[in-house]
Structure 1
Amino acid sequence: MLDPLKRLARQLSIDVSPLRDSRDYRLLFASGVITMFGTMITMVAVPYQMKQLTDSYLAVGLVSLAAFVPMVVCGLWGGAIADALDRRKIILLSELGLLGTSTALMVNALLPDPQVWVLYVLGAVSTGITCLQRPSLEAVFQQVVRHDQQAAAAVLSSMRWNFGAIVAPALGGLLVTAYGPGLAYGLDSLSFLLSLALLWRIRSLPAAEDAAPASLKSLVEGVRYAVGRRDLMGTYLVDIAAMVFAMSTALFPFLADELDSPQALGLLYSAAAVGALIASVTGGWTTRVRRHGLGVIIAATAWGAVMGLTALAPNVWLVFIGLALAGAADMISGIFRMTMWNQTIPQELRGRLAGIELLSYASGPMLGDARAGLMANFGGTRFALGAGGLLCVAGVLALGAALPKFRRYDARTSEHALAEQARREATAQEAPA
C-alpha cells in the first residue's frame, strides 16, 4: 500500500532542478514573485477605482480594451528587439518604465479629484511597456534553462505566477476597500524597486552575432514562421477563443455586490489562481505528457464548461469553487502551451515568437473583459458569465476539429521538437567544460 502512495507522490511532486541548476533562473523566478505580487494588487485596484468613479460596466470593461492597441504594437516590436538586442538591458529598462507608471497611478489616486482618463492612459502605457518586456523575459528562459528542464520550468513559473495571483488580489481587495487604491499603487511601485535589484544581477544576454536587426522584415519573418506551423497556430487560436469567450474578470466588482459580499471582491480575483496553484503544485505529471496539443484542447474545453456552470452558483463560495476549478484547467493548458513553445521554436526566432504568444494570451483576456462588460449591459452579470462559457466550449472544439496537426502533436515525433533538442545537445557539447 505504501509503495503505490510513494509512486503517486513522486509523480505529483514538483521538479525544482531549474532552480537548483541555473542562477539566472533563480533571479528571474524571485523577481517574478515580487513584481507579480504588486501587479496583481494593481489589477484589483484599477477596476475598483474605475467602478468608484463611474459605476459603469462598460467603463470598467473598456480599461482592458484601451490597452489593446499598445499590446499589439508593442508585443510584436518587443519580440523583434528581443531577438536583436541584449535581453537583459530590455528587461531592466522596461522595469524602470513600469515603476514610473505605477508611481503615476499612485499620485493620481491621492489627488482630491482623481481623473478617469489617467486610468485609461496609464493602463495603456503600462501595457505597452509590459509587452515590450515580456518577449525578452520569455525568450530568456530558453537560454538559461536546459532543454530537458523546460517542462519543469513551465510548472515552476506557473506556480510562481499563481502564488502572487492568490495572495495579492485577496490582499488588494482588502486594501482598496479599506484604504483606497493609492496604497495599492504604492506597494506596486515598491515591488518594482525590489525587482530591479534582483534583475541587475543577471548576466548579459546579448543577441547572436548574426541576429536580424529589429525591423518590419524581421517581424514578417517571425509571423511567417508561426503561420507556417499549424501546431503553433493551434496554441494561439485556442487560447484566444477560450479567453475572449469565457474571461469575465471585469464582472467581479458587480458580481460581488450581487452576492451581497463586496468584501469578497479580492477572493473572486484570487479564486482562479488558487485552482491554478493546486494544478501547478501537483503538476509533476504534466512533464510526462507528450500529446500537448490534445491536452490544450481538453483543458480549454474544461475551462469554458466550468465558467458556464459557475454562472448558476447561488452563493459566493460556490462561485469561488467554480472559478478555482476553471483556473486549474486554464493553468494546465498554459503549461502545455509553454512547453511546446520552448521545446520547438529555434532560439533565433524565440523573441519574435514570444511576441506573437503574448498577443495570444494577452489579447484574449482584454477582449474577453470588454465582451463581458458589453454582454452584461444587455443581459446582466450571470448572462455574460454563462453565455461566455458556452461559447468558449463551442469555439475550442471547433478549432480542435479544424487543426488536426495541433490536435495530433506529439513531442516524441515532432520534427521541430527533435531538431531543437539536437541543437541544444550540440551546443552543450561544444561549450567549454
Structure 2
Amino acid sequence: MSQPSGAAGMPDALQRRLGVTDAVVIGLGSMIGAGIFAALAPAAHAAGSGLLISLALAAVVAYCNATSSARLAARYPASGGTYVYGRERLGDFWGYLAGWGFVVGKTASCAAMALTVGSYVWPGQEHAVAVAAVVALTAVNYAGVQKSAMLTRVIVVLVLAVLAAVVVASLTSSASTADRLGVGDDATFGGVLQAAGLLFFAFAGYARIATLGEEVRDPQRTIPWGISIALGITLVVYAVVAIAVLTVLGPQGLAEAAAPLSDAVRAAGADWLAPVVRVGAAVAALGSLLALILGVSRTTLAMARDRHLPHGLAAVHPKFKVPHRAELLVGAVVAVLAATADVRGAIGFSSFGVLAYYAIANASAWTLTPEEGRPARFIPALGLAGCLILAFALPASSVIWGAAVLTLGAAAYGIRRIVTARSS
C-alpha cells in the first residue's frame, strides 16, 4: 500500500499534539450537540412511539462504522479519514467519492448547527446569528487545533451538566409516565428506519477523530480508544435523555416540539430551567459546529494534496500549523449556507452524504487482513448494509438531492481524469 498523504516527514505535515482525552472531547463535542438539540424532534415525527427502536438501530450501525473506522484509522493515521482509507483499499475513485460525500454532507451539518445556535440565541434572527457563529469559530480553528480542543472541552462539560438537569427534572416530574415509552400503532417499519437515518446524523461525530489522524499522538492507540470511548458515552447520554423527554412529552408532543428539551422541562413544571436549557442548546450547537468545521477542513486538505481539489488548499500555516486556506474556504461556504438554508432539510441531506461516506469505510475495512487488524467480518458487512438501508430510507427529497450531488461529484472526477489523460 502507498504511504498516506501528509505523512510525518513531509514539509507540509501537521503536528501531533492531541492525546486520547482531546480526541474523546472532540468526538463528544461533535455528537452530543447535534443529536440532542437538532435530531430528536424530526426523528420522533418519523418514528412516533418507535423512537427508541430507531435509536437502537442507529446505534448498531454507528458501532459498526466506528469499529471499521477505528481499525482503518490506526492503519492509516493521516488527515482525511475515509477519503484516505477508500483510496488505499478500494482505489482512487472510491476514496474521492468518500471525501466528496463527507465534505458536502458535513458542510450541510455545519449549516444546520449554525442555524440551531441562531434559533436558540435569537429567534427570528437565526440566520444572522448563524453567520456570526461561523465566522467566530472559523477564527478559533485558524488559531490552532489545541485551542479548538480546549474550547470544546469546556463546551462538553457545560452541555452534559444541562442535560443532567433536564433528565432529573423530567424523570422526577409528576407528569412523567413510563407508559409513553411503549411502541404503539403509530410506529411503522418505514418510519422507524427513516428516524434511524435521521438520528445517524447525531452519531457521526466520531469521524472528527479519524479525520484528525495526522494530529494525534500514538495514533494506533489514541484513535481506536478515542472513538470507542466517545461513542459509548454518547450512546448512554442519548438513551437517557430520549427516555426522559419521552416520559414527559410522549411521542406526539416530542414530534411537535420546536425546542424539545425546553418544552420537556416546562411540562415537568421546571419553567425556571428553560432559559438554562436554551443556553445549553446554543453552547452544544457551537461545540458541534466547532468540531465539524475542524473535520471538514482536514478532509479538504487531504483531497487538495491529491489535487482532487485546488492544490492551494493544501497549504499549512507556518505558525499555527493548520490548513488555513482550507479552513477559510470551508468557513466561507458554511456562512453562505447558514444565511440561506433550512435546518431540517440540512439534516436529511447531511445524513445521506455521511451514510455514503461510512458505507465506503465499511467496504474498506472488509479488505483488511488479520495482520492489519481486520475486525470480525460481520461488523463491516452489517455496517455497509445498514448504511445503504438507512440512506435510502431517508425522506425522498434528501435521497434525491443527496444522490444528485454524489453523481455530480462522480462526473467531476471522470471529467478530470479525461482532461488529465489528454494533456499527458
Do the structures match in fold with TM over 0.5? no
Greater fraction helix: 1
Report 1 or 2 for greater relative contact order, CA contacts < 8 Å, sequence distance ≥ 6.
2
So what's the TM-score if we normalise by structure 1? 0.30
